[in-house]
Amino acid sequence: MLPTFLAQGGAMIWLILLAGAVALAVFIERVLHCHRAQINAAEFLNGVRTVLKRDNIVEAISICDATPGPVPRLVKIAILNREKGRDRVREAVEEAGRAEVPLLEEKMNLLATLAQMAPLLGLLGTLIGFLEVFHQIQASGLYAHFGLLAGGIQRALICAATGIAVAIPAHAGYNYLLSRINKIVLDMERAASDIVNIITENGHARP
């Protein structure tokens, strides 16, 4: 059934399926990346606060190094700059945060582009299919019959349906990833504010 379906779709359907395969690969890679990047920020900061209260800077940095994700990296930056004053710590954390956001958003533009391209490729395949129908009508003249034209019409409909079928989950995946990224960025903002306060509370940063 599937090989027949693909054969009837013509060459354009392979481009649509390729776009779908790339979109799926990007989605899976980004989901895994977000899964590694998202941690329980509140629990992590509580652990760091406990260690800093004992003035164990080395252990605090080790905890940051052992924990994946942007939040531990921001916390580590704050700890390393702890003796440069509160304002400098805040600036260092903000700079690190700006560098982390593009890493989270990497390949999102590609996924959005593929989601937008899929229905357009389907439309192009549809137009090509109908052009073939018109060509057959022109070539056959009065002798044209539905059986002769059915192949072109079917190809047009298959391309349109496949393009939409690829675009819908691609858009859904993009929006899902966007929500995950926004949640991580929010965690980063909260962690940045909290770690500055933690360092100040423990007297590690100069006013």
The residue ranking higher by pLDDT, 6 or 45, is 45
| Rounded Cα distance, 115 and 24, in Å | 11
b/e map 166-176, b = 16+ CB within 10 Å: bbebbbebbee
Asked if residue 73 lies in contact with residue 187, where contact means CB atoms within 8 angstroms, the answer is no
Please give the average per-residue pLDDT across 111-123, as a whole number: 93
| Rounded Cα distance, 117 and 8, in Å | 21
Structure-block tokens of residue 88? 């400098």
- pLDDT by residue (tens digit) across 64-107? 999 999 999 999 999 888 888 788 888 999 999 999 999 999 99
pLDDT of residue 109: 94
pLDDT of residue 173: 96
The residue ranking higher by pLDDT, 142 or 174, is 174
Asked if residue 204 lies in contact with residue 84, where contact means CB atoms within 8 angstroms, the answer is no
| Rounded Cα distance, 109 and 201, in Å | 41
Asked if residue 111 lies in contact with residue 34, where contact means CB atoms within 8 angstroms, the answer is no
pLDDT of residue 147: 62
Place of tokens 């790339």: 22
| Rounded Cα distance, 85 and 87, in Å | 6
Provide the H-helix boundaries in the chain.
2-9, 11-37, 41-53, 57-66, 70-80, 86-104, 108-140, 146-201
Planar angle of CA 78, 181, 117, nearest 5 degrees: 140
- pLDDT by residue (tens digit) across 9-38? 677 888 999 999 999 999 999 999 999 988
Asked if residue 20 lies in contact with residue 118, where contact means CB atoms within 8 angstroms, the answer is yes
- pLDDT by residue (tens digit) across 154-194? 777 888 889 999 999 999 999 999 999 999 999 999 998 88
